[in-house]
Amino acid sequence: IVTDDLALPFGTLRMRAKGSGGGHNGLGNIETVLGTSKYARLRFGIGDEFRRGQQVDYVLGRWTGEEESTLSARLDRFDEAVRSFATIGLERAMNHFNNT
């Protein structure tokens, strides 16, 4: 599962083999459907620069100029992480990419 994550700084990658939904509506729904939280997930940090109660507007809003200037490189790194997960496996990919 690939998802955004408000709890991670913008552009940060994090892979996990399992875990809770952490309040993420999409992950909560997936766990309900699967009946388990034991599934791999790759999270892309989108930061938390929003006022209280404004998460939806923040998540669906536009990138800042600073974020846009680094987004392409971060997405390239994210693409590399997804491909590594598929080819070398979760554990090795986690060791290489987590928090980069």
Which homologous superfamily does the CATH classification assign to the domain defined by 2-97? Peptidyl-tRNA hydrolase (3.40.50.1470)
Distance from C-alpha of 98 to C-alpha of 45, rounded to nearest angstrom: 11
Share of the chain above pLDDT 90, in %: 37
Q: What is the pLDDT of residues 36-75, one digit of tens each?
A: 989 999 989 888 887 788 888 888 888 889 999 999 999 9
Report the interhelical angle of 65-88 vs 90-97 (nearest 10°).
150
